[in-house]
Chains A and B, each alone.
Chain A
Amino acid sequence: MQISRSLANLCARALIESMNVRDMRHLVKRMIPDYDLYKQSGFPESFAIPSIDAAKQIIGDIINHNLFFQLIQNLIHMNQEGFMGEKIRISYLNDILKEIYNNGYLFDSENQMFVENPQVQISRNWGALQEGESYTLAFLSIDIIGNTKIVKKYSKEIVETTYTELNYIVQNAINKRNGRFWMWEGDGGVIAFFFRNKNEDAILSAMEIMNNIFLYNRTICKLTEPLKIRISVHSGVCEYTDKISYFKNMGVMKTISEMEKNHSKENSICISYPVRMMLDGFIANQFTSLGSSSTSKFYRYKLEWKK
């Protein structure tokens, strides 16, 4: 986010009116441990730096280090929990949050971080995840079964229409649950979920996709046979990266590949144990264990009908 001069000034005023210079230095050291206010501001160490100069210098440096959101997250935390054992009220905090909201970002209180407002913009990292940092995410992987045969058998136009419609069905299901495409290769891809109940969001997206593909196959699908898909859902800790080739080699992706290769079946959803653990009972019950129920690492759901 581009920080406007007025927002930077508002934050400087918030620091000046909420704390002394000593607290400001402690605050900034939480984000930049070797921060030296005297060195940055040019004041000799024998001088007491005026609040206004200290605040402006700190805000400028925080913005230069791309740590603006972290500063505000710290201010929110201080306002709620106090600072160094003392209660503290941060002035202008609501005005700052309002200004950030107007710039397309929301504060996610569960994860205690700023994320982009999906109604304003949608980016791969929700405007929050940092390159190289590790996070716990849930992943939904979907692919078309028999892609090569479809491409050979049907005209380019029919294949393109069908795959675009699949993408639309997936997008429709994941957007309402704040999921993000991390990979899409025409015949399938990987979608990441980070907020709220990420495992449940991934599972409900998977079920909605499965149900809509069922209806799609029986109403507007242009192929002469049903479009067959398989879905896998797994969650785990993963380093955030923009580099797809690097992401493909991560541990979570290796597990997903194993699920697709060995456990996923046509028109079904295969999930891993960590995902099932996090589901409400009535959702978890829809998945049957693969192998012995006591040692099973994977579970499966398939849309089946009463006779």
Chain B
Amino acid sequence: MIDIYLFSKNNKVLSFFKKIRKSKSFSIIIYNPSNYKTILRNTNQDIFVYIDISSFNISEQKKLINYITRQKRFDFGIIDPHNNLSDPAELFYRGASDYIGKSLLMNEAKAGRIKNAVNFYATEDVEDQISTSPVFDDIPTMLSGHNWDKIEVGNEYTFCMLHIEIDILSEWEKSGKSHIEEVLNFFYSHINRIIKPLNGKLWMKTDFGGLILFPYDGSCTPIIIECIKLVMNRIIFSAEEYTYNTILTYRMALDIGNTKYLTSGNTGNIISDSVNFIFHFGKQYAEPGNFYLTGRVKEDIPPGLLDYFYTTDRFQDRTIYKMKLPILK
């Protein structure tokens, strides 16, 4: 039986699927369209998604289509009861398996059609996809999901990798090891609180910070937003997380890359170009107080925030983007 998630509250759409709901070949679960991100983010099952765009305004429809066409974990069809989309064929170029417009909704859905849609890409399991569907030019993607449930020690996955370090003030350099340890305790406690809701793990520690792994399900947007907040909220966290009455800053470098996953503390023998790169990127390239990301991460910057990033010097033959900084006095 195929699980179909139907996101709609439109009566015409619900009647269209009436027969299918009784079919033994499909199990249809109906959701409120406005919850689509929450529902889809939390699913790891093999599903097919139909989403009705009539519950959204034009700009929300664009965002929805951008979101859904970026997902690699499931196939999907778009329902357009008012024929709002001027070029439905474009959906297929972007990975859709079905388009249901106004005229089709006059009748009831036939099981054969839905089966064709579900089999349109003859979707392989994510596991099979892993070795065959490169998202980026230089690395194949092996989606690790949105949490750690399916990540097994010893296997290789694609992760969102954040190298982050606190910028040590010059006057601290003379104040001894115990003072630096105290600073780092504040830092790790702050960072752990930030990354926990995003399912991030501090994987390897460095002298003044570390490398954080986030499971990668096809989008780094929430991680980018949190990094932007860390740049914007420097005064806030300096006042509330630390006790030094001065502005503290973090340097951050973000990339998407592959590595075998081993538990923290057992990572000494890992051979991974991505891990090498992120360490070089964070240690050699990133400057104090700045946030950098690579071209492949840039794709996930929300469009409204693209203006706050600009290209800077290439590093190891990759395009690098740097975030503008808020002015501090």
Binding site for B on A (CB under 8 A): 158, 200, 204, 207-208, 211, 214-215, 217-219, 222, 224, 280-283, 285-286, 288, 303-307
Contact = CB atoms under 8 A, between A and B. Distances in A.
Contact of B238 (A214, A218, A282, A303): A282
A217 B245 CA distance: 31
A219 B305 CA distance: 8
Contacts of B245: 280-282
B232 A214 contact: yes
Contacts of B308: 305
B228 interface: yes
Say what secondary structure dominates the interface of chain A. helix
Interface of B: 57, 59-60, 225, 228-229, 232-233, 235-236, 238-240, 245-247, 302, 304-305, 308, 324-329
B328 to A, nearest CB: 7
A204 B236 contact: yes
Nearest to A200: B239
A217 B304 contact: yes
A280 B239 contact: yes
Which of B247, B305, B308, B327 has the most chain A CB atoms closer than 10 A to its own CB?
B327
Given A282-B247, A306-B327, A204 B239 contact: yes
A217 B325 CA distance: 18
24 contacts: A158-B57, A204-B240, A207-B236, A211-B232, A215-B225, A215-B229, A218-B302, A219-B225, A219-B302, A219-B304, A219-B305, A222-B57, A222-B60, A224-B59, A281-B245, A282-B247, A283-B239, A285-B329, A304-B326, A304-B327, A305-B308, A305-B325, A305-B327, A306-B325
Contacts of A207: 233, 235-236
Nearest to A305: B324
A208 B239 contact: no
A304 B329 CA distance: 11
Nearest to B307: A218
A25 to B, nearest CB: 46
Which of B228, B233, B239, B247 has the most chain A CB atoms closer than 10 A to its own CB?
B239
Nearest to B328: A286
Contacts of B60: 222
B118 to A, nearest CB: 31
Contact of A305 (B247, B326, B329): B326
B46 to A, nearest CB: 30
Contacts of A217: 304
Contacts of B302: 218-219
B321 to A, nearest CB: 15
Nearest to A208: B236
A208 B305 CA distance: 18
Which of A219, A222, A282 has the most chain B CB atoms closer than 10 A to its own CB?
A282
Nearest to A306: B325
B228 A303 contact: no
A218 B235 contact: no
A177 to B, nearest CB: 9
A304 B327 CA distance: 6
